[in-house]
Structure 1
């Protein structure tokens, strides 16, 4: 397998307290590798990687019922690619974290989904089924989110993400890698 046969996955994220960065790292781990991009410290090479990526998985904490303003700045910067649909037919996914079990995380994921749709991207949602459907999968996808990955921040800087949410993030990363591989293989 050559480097050209491996789909590039980029994970742009904003993280104020480390929770979103931890999720990004776990998704990267589950995907078997990806380019992590802190949107507060982007360089030209990051934009080049995003433009070349097969899949872009966007991550933001949920603040006050939506995506964080600093991540929204990244979206506005990326929107210059909209007119020419430069990201059209790339795959997209999203993840978010809040300190409350609900925390209005769905609104943040909807923000990311609408952005991806406007950019002409193909959305990949969450598919991990946990308890109560599968009692042995206690804690997996505990928020029951299908639009993207949701996690609840533990507030502990040593372990900002629970073990169950960490495993859900790894599984989400594996799903994204499989989807990107299928999409990349079918690309012309």
Structure 2
């Protein structure tokens, strides 16, 4: 199972989370503002976790950072080690320092021993027939600009499918490592 854990201040990140979920198919959406004990159980059992947060003032939103700090309690036991991880963000401006938010998520995943999956879709202008796909030209993870376009949603669905495929390959390969 894949869990998509997100914070959405104005609804745009939730919209992306739903599109990523459509691409990944078998997922559990978890809003950090409504988390309960059962959500932590799901995250701990998930084969992959996709993190989503808006970019505020050059990094992930503080409310999402609170979730990351709580999740870090799994670090010393390696509970999330070898899970597939990925991330997405949205901001008002085309740059909006969204790369910093994705770096924040990727570094968190690395510190947890997770396996990061980036974004791979090539759109216009390189492939003019794919107008709107990966319009922000992001490779570390999924980026979108507010307002979230149909191209952003299409890219999010492709991203969800990519993470699901990577998770299935990782799990099928028996690549899980025992941690002390």
TM category (shorter chain) comes to: over 0.9
1:17 equivalenced with 2:4 (yes/no): no
Q: How does 1:124-135 map to 2 (within 5 A)?
A: 124-135=117-128
1:173 equivalenced with 2:160 (yes/no): yes
**2:42 pairs with one of 46, 49, 52:** 49
**2:115 pairs with one of 122, 128, 143:** 122
Q: In structure 1, the residue corresponding to 2:113 is in which secondary structure?
A: coil
C-alpha displacement at 1:185, in angstroms? Answer: 1.4
Q: What corresponds to 2:146 in structure 1?
A: 153
C-alpha displacement at 1:183, in angstroms? Answer: 1.2
d(CA) in 2 for partners of 1:91, 1:175: 11
Q: How does 1:59-74 map to 2 (within 5 A)?
A: 59-74=52-67
CA RMSD of aligned residues (A): 0.8
Q: In structure 1, the residue corresponding to 2:54 is in which secondary structure?
A: strand
Q: What corresponds to 2:72 in structure 1?
A: 79
Q: How does 1:74-113 map to 2 (within 5 A)?
A: 74-113=67-106
Residue-by-residue CA offset, 1:4-45 (whole Å, 9 max, x unaligned):
xxxx10000000100000000000001113100001111111
Give 5+ residue unaligned stretches, structure 1. 1-7, 155-160
d(CA) in 2 for partners of 1:183, 1:47: 22
d(CA) in 2 for partners of 1:184, 1:32: 17
Residue-by-residue CA offset, 1:57-108 (whole Å, 9 max, x unaligned):
0000000000000000000000000111110011100000001111000000
**Paired positions, count:** 175
Q: What corresponds to 1:164 in structure 2?
A: 151
d(CA) in 2 for partners of 1:123, 1:56: 10
d(CA) in 1 for partners of 2:128, 2:146: 23
d(CA) in 2 for partners of 1:184, 1:85: 17
d(CA) in 1 for partners of 2:4, 2:63: 15
